[in-house]
Chain A
Amino acid sequence: MVNSCAVLHSCLERIERLNSKINAFVHFEKENPLGQKGTRPIAIKDNISVKDELTTCASKILEGYRPPYDATVIKKLKEKGYILMGKTNMDEFAFGSSCETSCYGPVRNPWDLKRIPGGSSGGSAAAVAADLVPMALGSDTGGSIRQPAALSGVVGMKPTYGRVSRYGLIAFASSLDQIGPITSNVADCAELLGVISGYDGLDSTSADIPVPDYTKALVKNIKGMKIGVPKEYFPEDGLDKDVKEALLEAKNIFKGLEASLVEISLPHTKYAVSCYYIIAPAEASSNLARYDGVQYGLREEAVRMVDMYAKTRTAGFGEEAKRRILLGTYALSSGYYEAYYLKAMRVRTMIKNDFSEAFKSCDVILTPTSPTPAFKIGERADDPLKMYLSDIFTIPANLAGIPGISIPCGFSGNNLPIGLQLLGKPFEEETLIRLAYAFEQNTEFHKRKPNL
């Protein structure tokens, strides 16, 4: 049987022609897409397990790994007639905001090949932006779906923590990770979210809450909805001029649609990056302890067991992964646990409470997704702290567990996409979809395509 779906053939043609330019896909399905049933081609981030297909987190330490089982989201996609095209490039173990830490080399932004596509789900975002596939799955621990969606000019949603099963997602930071859709429009986002959501007995942090029909939220009427605008996300300095203007215009568009804007405050925002860079590396250092050369992936031989571990890990992990393992191990080590890890968990409570308080006076929160459009490859590579600060607007939602979506809302002077972020109450993804859809249907930004 050869699949004759026209969309599939167009995807295959574009992948063939363009993937070498942008490096979005790193593995292709062993079982040719033409042999799969279905009508919906989709790309999968390289940290989501697909049975018998290479799944390496763009890390040398997982080279050759083919999971013996499907992630729950993959099982659902296969049941619903999606065609798996292959695995997309990412920052190693999702550690990064630029896709420069991949062991397969950087992903290039389809809008400007000298620039990063954002990260860590940059391969998925670039693949959708370049029309290699209409949709993809990513994962978001501190902004890894929303930030690349913004920088690549596509739609990306991080669902509420617990909405989508994490079973089969290779863990980075287990209390923050969430799988979500990256699509070229809001309608596809709603459809894909409905397919992957739901309770799963194989994920103990999965929420047993019914899944609504998200496509019913695709309505253009948002009259009377209250949009909170947090002053902490619009700093006088620290917001690119073009991003500032695009957000100003976005506010006017929402006002034109008869939504009301209310000023709100999320007072602990400035502590979010610090809080995150204790909690996320701490959880990561623990999750990455399993890569020891015994069960899968790379192995460097030594006479003694402990030397085998150390040689394997030293050869297998890249520079950023080592940096995070060291930082996390330090924060958890005896003598520093209370000063760092416990402190960060208390600040996390404050950040979470900020949102609960703010949502008393608004339905949804509007912010820029990223303080700047896409930066140049190499520009922030030598300054980890500067790189970490590029996630300042996306990190708080992960700490609080709330859902967020990024949609295109403008272009910079040099034709780079700009995204806006909407944050919602827990398990109210429908509100985000409704506002995002109304905005999209009343603007033209999502129709512009990169010149490739």
Chain B
Amino acid sequence: MSDKKIIDKDTVLRVARLSRLILSDKELSQYSGQLGAILEYIDQLNEIDTRNTPPTSHPLSNLKNVFREDRVKGSLSPADVLRNAPRKKENFFSVPRVIE
């Protein structure tokens, strides 16, 4: 690996915060090194001139918007929807207080 640091620990910490992940010091060092190596490899993409190439976000080229008729259909019961919830109260998901 070269000395050039593509991603430093502060950046990894910032990305971890955005991802809602808590990293230990050991994980921080490990991920910084590994992400650095991966990004260094990925840097090869800069060899290619892509200025005149449109981006592909999706492999089906002829895909159009999909609409359906606005008709009332059956849906899951509240009991089915809530069955997997770690915490629930009556017909609601229960979470820590959001408003102070």
Asked if A and B bind, the verdict is yes
| 22 interchain pairs, CB-CB under 8 A | A68-B76, A205-B63, A273-B41, A274-B42, A295-B84, A299-B86, A308-B95, A313-B20, A322-B31, A325-B19, A329-B19, A333-B14, A342-B55, A345-B56, A345-B57, A347-B48, A347-B50, A348-B55, A349-B56, A384-B38, A385-B41, A401-B60
Given A205-B58, A401-B60, are A317 and B48 also a contact pair (CB < 8 Å)?
no
Is the CB of A207 closer than 8 A to any CB of chain B? Answer: yes
State how many angstroms separate the Cβ of A318 from the closest Cβ of chain B: 12
A362 to B93, CA, bound (A): 56
A342 to B60, CA, bound (A): 18
Task: Report A-chain residues with C-beta under 8 Å of the C-beta of B57.
Answer: 175, 345
Find out whether the CB atom of A322 lies under 8 angstroms from the CB atom of B59.
no
Chain B residues within 8 Å of A, Cβ to Cβ: 7, 11-12, 14-16, 18-22, 27, 31, 34-35, 37-38, 41-42, 44-46, 48, 50, 53-60, 63, 66, 68, 76, 80-81, 83-87, 93, 95-98
Given A69-B76, A305-B96, are A277 and B38 also a contact pair (CB < 8 Å)?
yes
State how many angstroms separate the Cβ of B26 from the closest Cβ of chain A: 11
Find out whether the CB atom of B93 lies under 8 angstroms from the CB atom of A161.
no
Find out whether the CB atom of B21 lies under 8 angstroms from the CB atom of A322.
yes
Find out whether the CB atom of A205 lies under 8 angstroms from the CB atom of B60.
yes
Find out whether the CB atom of B53 lies under 8 angstroms from the CB atom of A346.
yes
Given A275-B45, A327-B35, are A66 and B83 also a contact pair (CB < 8 Å)?
yes
Find out whether the CB atom of A274 lies under 8 angstroms from the CB atom of B68.
no
Given A302-B96, A327-B35, 5 more contacts at CB 8 Å?
A66-B84, A294-B95, A299-B87, A323-B31, A327-B38
Given A305-B95, A310-B20, A349-B55, are A274 and B84 also a contact pair (CB < 8 Å)?
no
**Closest B residue to A352 using CB positions:** B56
A274 to B86, CA, bound (A): 38
Task: Report A-chain residues with C-beta under 8 Å of the C-beta of B87.
Answer: 299
Task: Report B-chain residues with C-beta under 8 Å of the C-beta of A343.
Answer: 45-46, 50
Given A204-B66, A294-B85, A340-B42, are A308 and B96 also a contact pair (CB < 8 Å)?
yes
Is the CB of A186 closer than 8 A to any CB of chain B? Answer: no
**Closest B residue to A275 using CB positions:** B45
State how many angstroms separate the Cβ of B93 from the closest Cβ of chain A: 5
Find out whether the CB atom of B34 lies under 8 angstroms from the CB atom of A384.
yes
Secondary structure dominating the interface of A? helix
Task: Report A-chain residues with C-beta under 8 Å of the C-beta of B12.
Answer: 326
State how many angstroms separate the Cβ of A376 from the closest Cβ of chain B: 21
Find out whether the CB atom of A347 lies under 8 angstroms from the CB atom of B96.
no
Find out whether the CB atom of B15 lies under 8 angstroms from the CB atom of A329.
yes
Contact with B along A276-320 (1 / 0, CB 8 A): 011000000100000011111111011111111111011001000
What is the total number of residues of chain A having a CB less than 8 Å from a CB of chain B? Answer: 69
Find out whether the CB atom of A274 lies under 8 angstroms from the CB atom of B59.
no
Given A274-B45, A277-B38, A305-B98, are A326 and B85 also a contact pair (CB < 8 Å)?
no
Is the CB of A81 closer than 8 A to any CB of chain B? Answer: no
Is the CB of A375 closer than 8 A to any CB of chain B? Answer: no
Is the CB of A400 closer than 8 A to any CB of chain B? Answer: yes
Is the CB of A65 closer than 8 A to any CB of chain B? Answer: yes
Task: Report B-chain residues with C-beta under 8 Å of the C-beta of A66.
Answer: 83-84
State how many angstroms separate the Cβ of A132 from the closest Cβ of chain B: 29
Is the CB of A330 closer than 8 A to any CB of chain B? Answer: yes
Tell me the residues in window 234-289 of chain A with beta carbons closer than 8 Å to chain B beta carbons: 268, 270-271, 273-275, 277-278, 285
State how many angstroms separate the Cβ of A414 from the closest Cβ of chain B: 30
State how many angstroms separate the Cβ of A317 from the closest Cβ of chain B: 7
Task: Report A-chain residues with C-beta under 8 Å of the C-beta of B76.
Answer: 68-69
Task: Report A-chain residues with C-beta under 8 Å of the C-beta of B84.
Answer: 64-66, 68, 295-297
